[in-house]
Amino acid sequence: MLGCGGVSERLRVVVTGGNRGVGREVAAEAVRRGHRVTIVARRPDAGAAAAAEIGADLVVGDLSSVRTVRALAGEIPETDVLVHNAALWPGRLALNEDGYEQAFFTNHLAPFLLNRLLEARLRRVVQVSAALYVRGRVDPGRTPTGRDFHNVRTYADTKLANLLMVPLFAERWRDTGVTIDAVHPGVLRTDLTVGDGLFGRVMKAAKWTLKPAGKAARPVADLLTADGTGRYFHVSKERPLKRKALDATLARTLWDDAARLLKEG
């Protein structure tokens, strides 16, 4: 189990989707621990308000396409720790300007691209994950373009894709000093728990029985200064990944497909 402890140095921390929900709570906790925090938000007004309230800096940008991710990478300041928090839970199929299913791009490909574009400046990456990855199944020929879209499972697919990348990034960075870990902070009361249709109505009814987003602050913030790499945490406890997240052949295929965007974009 990780302990929060004090910080021996002031880290420069960037949190995507840091203007609301889990991201906001994590950013606020990082500020409380003495780090210099920059939140990434798509809407300037909401981002500015959140940044002012928690004492963080703001970068306006979004994770919707190769073009916007490249633009965002150019705006992100010098960074020690990058926290991938921003995510979509899609209620219907939508494709981005590159032809990818939007949640697959925002939740999986955007973090991959930012990791690669910023890796020379990073010391650590924390990937906010979800235990629902166990329900995911990624078909490289169908999932990226939404040909197997499902308004519940697609979110799980993206989180599985995230986790398949963690061991590969850990290995890529092993001799550079950059580390990466993933964490499921718990089932929490956030906008992600509200979708469309029957599922959305059920989740809206159950929403107020869930823990508040603030419960995510400590398990994610604890990893900002943790030692180790390539691990998965369920809240504050390290857990072994399920077999489907250790499929080396699938992981390499997804890696190569994502890396191709660096050359084409």
CA distance 168 to 113: 14
- How far is Cα 167 from Cα 212, in angstroms, rounded to an integer? 30
Query: Which candidate in 100, 133, 155, 232 is catalytic?
Result: 155
Question: 107 to each of 84, 85, 129, how far by Cα in Å?
Answer: 9, 9, 10
Query: In the 8-state DSSP scheme, what is residue 240?
Result: P
Q: Is 133 a catalytic residue?
A: no
Beta bridge partners, 48, equal none
The alpha-helical segments, DSSP class H, found in the chain are 21-32, 44-54, 66-75, 102-104, 110-118, 153-172, 197-206, 217-222, 248-264
Indicate which residues carry an active-site annotation: 155
